[in-house]
A and B are shown apart, each in its own frame.
Chain A
Amino acid sequence: MYKIVKAEKLADKIFLMDVHAPRVAGHCQPGQFVIVKMDEKGERIPLTICDYDREAGTITIVFQEVGASTTKMSSLKEGDYFRDFTGPLGCPSEFIHEDPESLKNRKILFVAGGVGAAPVYPQAKWLKERGIDADVIVGAKTKDMLILEDEMKAVAGNYYPCTDDGSYGHAGMVTTKIEKLVEEGRKYDVCVAIGPMIMMKFVCLLTKKLGIPTVVSMNPIMVDGTGMCGACRLQVGDEIKFACVDGPEFDGHLVDFDQAMKRSQMYKTEEGRAMLKLQEGDTHHGGCGHCGGDE
C-alpha cells in the first residue's frame, strides 16, 4: 500500500498528489513515469512523474479526470492509499546523460499543453539545478486551467503562458507563440513538447519547418508498462517502438501521430465518446487517450 501524503486540486478536474513510494523516489529521473492502481479491481494507469523528493521518499503525480478510473481516483484524499504504485518506468530524458557544461551551450525550448506541464516541470527543474535556463511555453484553454505556474516560473529561464481564449498571457495556441518567438529572433537547438497528441503533432509540423529537432513524450494505452504486452506500440520512422520500454520520449519528427491518435481511441464506443464530449464540452483538451477529444 502506498500512502497519499498530500492531495490538492489544481484546477477544474486536475489533481496533484504526493505519494509515499521510496523505491520509485530513490531511482526516478526526469522523463520517466509510474503506473498506479487504485484498488483490487482498478485499471493500471500510467502517469507522468511531476516531481520527486528522494529524502522524503515521495513522488508527485498530476492527473486529469477523464474517465471512470481517473474520476474515482480524484476522490482519494490525504491519508488514503493506492493499492499499487510502481516505477520508475520508461527511459529518462536523454539530456540527463549529457555533460551539463555542454548543455549550457544549447538553447532548449519546452512546450507544454494542459497537464503536460506536469512532466515538463521536473525536466526544467533538473536543468535549472545545473545552471541551465530553458524557455518554457505552457498552453491552456483558459487562465483557470493553467497549472503549476509559480513552480514553473521558478525553474524556467523565460516563462510564456498562453491561453486559447486570450484570458491570460499570449492569446492563441502554443504553436503561434513558438512562431512569434522565432520571428523575434530566438534560436532554439531543441524543443521538448509534451501535451495532448494533437498539440504535439502540430508542434512537430511547425518545428520540422523551422528546423528545430523536437522530442515528444507519448502516453498511449498501456497495460503492464514493462514491455510485456505491446499495447503501447507506436510507429516511429520505419520501426515499431514500445512507449513503455523504448520511450516514452521519441523524436517527434518520426512519430506517426495520426496512427497513435487512432490507437488511443480503441476502447471507446461511439456513444461513450459522444457522451464525454457532451459532459466535458469545451473544457476538454484531448490527448488523454480516453475520451475522443483528439478527433
Chain B
Amino acid sequence: MADMLKKVPVREQDPKVRAANFEEVCFGYNMEEAMEEAQRCLNCKNAKCIKGCPVSIDIPGFIHQVKEGNIEEAYKVIGKSSALPAICGRVCPQESQCEGVCIRGIKGEPVSIGKLERFVADYALEHDIKPQGADKMNGHKVAVIGSGPSGLTCAGDLAKMGYDVTVFEALHELGGVLVYGIPEFRLPKQKVVAREIEKVKELGVKFETNVVIGKSTTIDQLMEDEGYEAVFIGSGAGLPMFMGIPGENANGVFSANEYLTRSNLMKAFDDDYDTPIIAGKKVAVVGGGNVAMDAARTALRLGADVHIVYRRSEAELPARVEEVHHAKEEGVVFDLLRNPKKINVDENGNIRSMTVIKMELGEPDASGRRRPIEVPGSEYDIEVDTVIMSLGTSPNPLISSTTKGLDVNRRKCIVADEETGRTSKEGVYAGGDAVTGAATVILAMGAGKAGAKGIDEYLKSKEK
C-alpha cells in the first residue's frame, strides 16, 4: 500500500522537453493510478469538498465508483453536475476549492480530486460514453450568447431539462476562452475541448458561429423576431487593459489576449496555419495571473527567453500555484517587485528596451494584498524586444450598449443576481466574466448553472 498521506504522483512531460513543444504537460492518471488514488478518499458524511465545488459535484460519490473501477458510473455522477469535466479536471483551481477543504489535507496531501475528475472524463471521451439527455423536449426556445464555459454549461443544463437551445458564438470556433485563451499544452483543443463540446451537441444543443450579438443581431431582435423566450448572456471578459505608459503602442507590445489568440485560436505556433506571431528573442510578460503564466509559457515554447515582471512579491501572485511551478520548471524567470515605467522605442517603432522600477510592499489595499510602492530612483533598463501586457480586461460594451433595459454597474459589468442570473431585463439572464469581470472557468460554469435554473424557473412560472 502506498503512503496514504501523499497523492499518487501524476506523470508529466519532462520540463526540458516540454519547454520546446505544445503537447500537454500533464499525462494524467491511468486506471491503476486512479483506483489507487481513489482509495485515499475518506468518503466523509459531511463532505466539505462538495461545498467547495462551485457546481457541487458529488465528489465522494464519483470517487467511490472509481475505487470500484466503475468509471462509466463515475462519469454519470459527475455528469449530473458538470457538462465539462475533462476541462475542469485540467483548469480548475482545485487547491483553493474542493482539494483546499479536503479532510485528507489536514494531515498530509488532499485527495487528488482534479486528476481523478480528469481521468473519469477522459475515459468517457475515449470510450464515447454518451451524456444523459432529456426524455422529451418542452418546446421552449432559449438563446445562449457565447460558447465559453458559462454558456456551454447553461446550454447543457437547459437541454437536459428539455429546452430547445441555440448557442451564438462571435468567433469562428466554439469554446470561448477555452480555445482562444488557454493554451494547447494546458488544455488540448481537439482531444479535449472539441470532444467535450461534442457531448453538449449530443444533448441537442444547436450552435451558430460568427454571430456577434450587438452587431449581427441584438438580444431584442432574438426575442422579438426569432422567438427566443429567454436569453442567457455568457459573453465573457472584454477589452484588454494597457498600462498607459510611454511607448506602449510600439511594435512588439501585445496584449496577452492578442498573443494567446494568435497562438491558440489561430494556431500561429503551427507553420501550416497562415496567421503570423512574433516569437521574440527576449520577452517580458507584465502581470502575475494565470493569463500571464499562459503567455509566458507560450513565448517560451516559441523559443524566447522569458521574464515575468510583477509588481508584488511571489506570495501575492494571483496565478495558480501549479502554473507558477510549471513556469519556473520550464525556465521562466520571475522579476518580482518590479513595475514598467516606459518602453523605449527605436526609429522604426520597434522596442529597444523597457525601463522598470523596483517596488516594495506597503500596507494592505482594498484587495487585501499589500500595496506596492515605488522605490525612488531605482529605475533601470531591461533589454527586451517583445512585451506582453497581461493586466486583465474591462467589459466589452457590445451587448450592454445594444440591449434596451439591461443595467450595468460602475465597472460596466452586467448586473445579475448570483442565485438565478436574473438581470434587469425580463427574460434575460447573465453569468460568467461578463458579470463578474475576469475570473475562472469553474466560477463561470457555476454561473451558467445558476442561469439555467433561473431561466427554467422563469419560463415555468410564465406557463402557469
A and B assemble together: yes
Q: Interface majority SS on B: helix, strand, loop or mixed?
A: loop
Which residues 206-261 of B sit at the A interface, judged by CB distance below 8 A?
209-212, 215-217, 238-240, 242, 244, 248-249, 251-252, 254-255, 257-258, 261
Question: Chain B 257-280 against A: per-residue CB contact (8 Å), 1 yes, 0 no?
Answer: 110011001110000111110100
User: For residues 160 through 188 of chain A, which have their beta carbon under 8 Å from a beta carbon of chain B?
Assistant: none
Q: Which of B216, B273, B275, B397 meets A27, CB within 8 Å?
A: B216
- Closest beta carbon of chain B to A51's beta carbon, Å: 18
B278 touches A245 (CB 8 A): no
Residues of chain B lying within 8 A (CB to CB) of residue A231: 254-255, 258
Which of the residues A86, A223, A234 comes within 8 Å of B266, measured between beta carbons? A223
Taking CB atoms, residues of chain A closer than 8 Å to B272 are 41
Q: Is A227 interfacial (CB-CB < 8 Å)?
A: yes
Asked if A87 is an interface residue, CB under 8 A from chain B, the answer is: yes
Q: Which of A88-111 contact B (CB under 8 A)?
A: 88-89
A154 is an interface residue with CB less than 8 A from chain B: no
A243 to chain B, nearest CB (A): 12
Closest to A259 in B: B249
A290 CB, min distance to chain B CBs, angstroms:
10
A277–B171 Cα gap in the complex (Å)? Answer: 34
The CA-CA distance from A89 to B252 in the complex, in Å, is 26
Complex partner residue of A84 from B210, B249, B267, CB under 8 angstroms: B210
**What is the distance, in angstroms, from A215's C-beta to the closest C-beta of chain B?**
20
- B258 adjacent to A87 (CB under 8 Å): no
- Of the candidates B170, B209, B242, B258, which one forms a contact with A229 in the assembled complex, judged by CB atoms under 8 Å apart? B258
Looking at the assembled complex, report how far the CB atom of A45 sits from the nearest CB atom of chain B, in whole angstroms.
9
Asked if B172 is an interface residue, CB under 8 A from chain A, the answer is yes
Contact of B108 with A by CB under 8 A: no
Alpha-carbon gap, A88 to B215, bound state (A): 6
Which residues of A have CB within 8 Å of B397? 245
- Give the chain A neighbours of B216 by CB distance below 8 A: 23-24, 27, 86-88
Kindly state the separation between the CA atoms of A42 and B173 in the bound complex, as whole angstroms: 13
Min Cβ gap B219→A in Å is 13
* Distance, CA A242 to CA B398, complexed state (A): 13
With A245-B398, A266-B278 already in contact, the answer to whether A230 and B239 are too (CB < 8 A) is yes
Interface set, chain A 51-102, CB cutoff 8 A to B: 68-69, 83-89
Most buried by B among A87, A262, A263, A267: A262
Q: Is B367 an interface residue (CB 8 A)?
A: no
Q: A23-B217, A245-B396, A262-B251 given as contacts; is B257 within 8 A of A230 (CB)?
A: yes
Q: Is A26 part of the contact surface with B, judged by Cβ < 8 Å?
A: yes
Count of A-B contacts judged by CB separation below 8 Å: 110
CA–CA, A165 to B387, complex, Å?
Answer: 44
Task: Report the interface size for chain B: residues with CB under 8 A from the other chain.
Answer: 40
Q: A240-B249, A262-B251 are in contact. Are A37 and B172 (CB under 8 A)?
A: yes
Q: Are A41 and B273 in contact (CB under 8 A)?
A: yes
Closest to B244 in A: A240
Q: Would B398 and A226 count as touching, CB distance under 8 A?
A: yes
A88: chain B residues at CB < 8 Å are 215-216
Complex interface: chain B residues within 8 A of A41 (CB): 267, 272-274
Our pick among B180, B211, B252 for the contact of A228 (Cβ within 8 Å) is B180
CB–CB B349/A263 < 8 A: yes
Q: Among B212, B215, B255, B265, point to the contact of A230 (Cβ < 8 A).
A: B255
The answer to whether the Cβ of A141 comes within 8 Å of any Cβ in the partner chain is no
Chain B positions 351-376 with a Cβ under 8 Å from a chain A Cβ = none
Cβ of B399 to closest chain A Cβ, rounded Å: 11
Cross-chain contact A89 with B212 (CB below 8 angstroms): yes
Check if A201 is an interface residue, CB within 8 A of chain B: no
Is A48 part of the binding interface, using a Cβ–Cβ cutoff of 8 Å? no
Q: Which residues of B contact A228 (CB under 8 A)?
A: 180, 238-240, 257, 261, 396
Chain A binding surface SS class: mixed
B217 and A230 within 8 A (CB)? no
Q: Is there an interface contact between B239 and A245, defined as CB atoms closer than 8 Å?
A: yes
Is the C-beta of A265 less than 8 angstroms from some C-beta in chain B?
Answer: yes
Q: Which B residues lie within 8 Å of A68 (CB)?
A: 274
A285 at the interface (CB under 8 A from B): no
With A41-B267, A262-B349, A263-B251 known to touch, is A227 a contact of B210 (CB < 8 Å)? no
How far in angstroms is the closest Cβ of chain B from A87? 7
A63 to chain B, nearest CB (A): 15
CB-defined interface of B421-458 with A at 8 Å, one 1/0 digit per residue?
A: 00000000000000000000000000000000000000
B348 within 8 A of A: yes
Among residues 362 to 413 in chain B, which have CB atoms less than 8 Å away from a CB atom of chain A? 396-398
Of A24, A85, A227, the most chain B CB neighbours within 10 A belong to A227
Chain A residues with CB below 8 A from B171, complex form: 224, 226
* Residue in chain A with minimal CB distance to B252: A266
Chain A 208-244: CB-based contact to B (< 8 A → 1; otherwise 0): 0000000000000001101111110111000010100
Q: Does A12 interact with chain B (Cβ within 8 Å)?
A: no
What residue in chain A is nearest B181 (Cβ atoms)?
Answer: A228
Residues on B with C-beta less than 8 A from A242 are 239
Known interface pairs A26-B217, A68-B274, A262-B348; A233-B249 also in contact (CB < 8 Å): yes
A44 near B172 with CB under 8 A, answer yes
How far does the alpha carbon of A245 sit from the alpha carbon of B215 in the complex, in Å?
Answer: 10
Chain B residues within 8 Å of A69, by CB? 274
- Name the CB-closest residue of A to B277: A267
Q: Is the CB of B180 within 8 A of A263?
A: no
User: Which residues on A sit within 8 Å (CB–CB) of B274?
Assistant: 41-43, 68-69
A267→B265 CA distance, assembly (Å): 18
Q: What residues of chain B lie closer than 8 Å to A235, measured between beta carbons?
A: 249
A 242-268 contacts with B by CB, 8 A? 242, 245, 259, 262-263, 265-267
Question: In the complex the two chains form, what is the Cα distance from A263 to B249 in whole Å?
Answer: 8
Q: For the complex, what is the distance from the CA of A176 to the CA of B116, rounded to whole Å?
A: 72
With contacts A86-B216, A226-B396, A259-B249 known, is A23 near B278, CB below 8 A?
A: no
CA A262 – CA B255 in complex, angstroms? 18
Binding site for A on B (CB under 8 A): 170-172, 180, 209-212, 215-217, 238-240, 242, 244, 248-249, 251-252, 254-255, 257-258, 261-262, 265-267, 272-276, 278, 348-349, 396-398
27 contacts between A and B (CB under 8 A): A27-B215, A44-B266, A44-B275, A84-B209, A86-B211, A87-B215, A224-B170, A224-B180, A226-B170, A227-B396, A228-B239, A228-B240, A228-B396, A229-B257, A230-B240, A230-B257, A231-B255, A233-B242, A233-B249, A235-B249, A240-B244, A245-B239, A245-B397, A259-B249, A263-B249, A265-B251, A267-B278
Q: Which 10 A-B pairs have the closest CB atoms?
A: A262-B349, A229-B258, A86-B210, A84-B172, A230-B255, A23-B216, A266-B251, A230-B240, A43-B274, A267-B276
Q: Which residues of A contact B (CB under 8 A)?
A: 23-24, 26-27, 37, 41-44, 68-69, 83-89, 223-224, 226-231, 233-235, 240, 242, 245, 259, 262-263, 265-267
Given contacts A37-B172, A228-B240, A230-B255, 8 further A-B contacts (CB under 8 A): A41-B272, A88-B215, A224-B265, A226-B170, A229-B255, A240-B244, A263-B251, A263-B349
